[in-house]
Amino acid sequence: MTTIAITGASGNLGRATLRHLLSRGVPAANIILVARDESKVRDVAVNGVQARHGDYTDAASLQRAFQGVDRLLFISTSALGEERMRHHGNVVNAAKAARVSHVTYTSVIKPSATAKFGASPGHFHTERLLGESGLPTTFFRNNLYMDLVPWLFGSAVESGVLMSCAGEGKIGFVARDDMAQALARVLADASTPKATYAMTPTRPAYGLAEVAAELGRAKNKSIQYVSVSPEEFRSTLAQHGTPPPAIEMAVGLAEAMNAGEFDASSRDLETLLGRAPLDLRTMLAGGR
């Protein structure tokens, strides 16, 4: 039986993928949860699921954790820039040394070395690193989590205004649980998966005017999308006491939207799920 390991297993995506692997009938004894702090996965490492110590900063710990692993779900680190590449290089080198048979990597929808979205260059370089390693790899190019919509734009519910410098840019939001279900299917499938899956909705991506309308519908309130310049957006956020790092994150995300970096649709996710992915309206209404 194939042994499957999940890095970053204490996070939401790792936990959700574990749940779906078990629901697909993958034996618990064939699943390994790799985490820097094993105590954070002990609550889900039950009924035979293994928990192993593996730290992105420690290649030796990762190599030990990957022993006997056939399929590795490599969930990208939250670090950015050079730190991310050090982490990811450790994972790739450890997987190669441990002779992992196949790697599935959580990338981004349109990886680019020159993207405005801060995480995208790291994904681009990691895809290249995996390609150069010779490890058989499947890339899950994920769009942004739909689950983040209330966090990203929740203040618009109170103010009645969703302000951004994203212009007419769009995002193909996808529910995290749908991504996890698709990952579980590929990891559990005995056949060789595709080289790349686009984890983005079948329907057209969401513009912020539509996001504002759906937030308003869910809260029974009128919410208007207002497009402003990056300078005005920064100034408004600063006036509301937004910390400088959060300002830069919000502006960077908006500029990436405006550049079309998240504007994508594909049937890949729907095909893997065997149904339509969760849509924003249903999610905001508290549905599936």
User: pLDDT tens-digit profile of 97-125?
Assistant: 999 999 999 999 999 999 999 899 999 99
The CATH code of the domain that includes 251 is 3.90.25.10
pTM: 0.93
Closest CA to 71 of 98, 39, 89, 48: 98
Please tell me which residue, 275 or 286, carries the higher pLDDT value.
Answer: 275
Q: Are residues 119 and 205 in the same domain?
A: no
Give 40's pLDDT tier (boundaries 50, 70, 90). confident
Q: Give residue 162's domain range.
A: 144-173+201-263+278-288
Q: Are residues 16 and 73 in the same domain?
A: yes
CA distances from 198 to 106, 224, 234, 261, 263 (A): 11, 31, 32, 13, 12
The answer as to whether 189 is a domain residue is: no
| Residue 36 belongs to a domain | yes
State whether 39 and 158 are in the same domain. no
Distance (Å, whole) CA 192 – CA 183: 13
Tell me what the mean pLDDT of segment 29-45 comes to.
82
**Is residue 62 situated within a structural domain?**
yes
CA–CA distances in Å: residue 168 to residues 148, 238, 258, 280: 19, 23, 6, 18
pLDDT for position 1: 72
Domain assignment present for 182: no
190 is a domain residue: no
Q: Residue 245 has what pLDDT? A: 84
- Same domain membership, residue 157 and residue 216: yes
Q: Is residue 219's pLDDT more than 80?
A: yes
- Mark out the alpha helices in 70-119 (DSSP H runs): 81-97
Are 96 and 157 contained in the same domain? no
User: Does 105 lie in the same domain as 52?
Assistant: yes
Residue 39 lies in a domain: yes
Residue 137 and residue 42 share a domain: yes
Would you place residue 55 in the very low, low, confident or very high pLDDT band (cuts 50, 70, 90)? very high
Q: Do residue 167 and residue 114 come from a single domain?
A: no
CA distances from 89 to 101, 174, 273 (A): 17, 28, 31
On whether both 80 and 168 belong to a single domain, the answer is: no
For residue 194, tell me if it sits in a domain. Answer: no
Last residue in a domain, options 95, 126, 142: 142
Taking the C-alpha atoms of residue 98 and residue 100, their distance in angstroms, rounded to an integer, is 6
Same domain, 122 and 244: no
- Of residues 257, 269, 138, the one with CA closest to residue 200: 269
Give the pLDDT band of residue 287 (cuts 50, 70, 90). low
Work out the pLDDT band at 210, boundaries 50, 70, 90: very high
Name the percent of the chain lying above pLDDT 70: 98
Do residue 135 and residue 250 come from a single domain? no
Domain count, the chain: 2
Domain assignment of residue 185, yes or no: no
Q: Are residues 136 and 233 in the same domain?
A: no
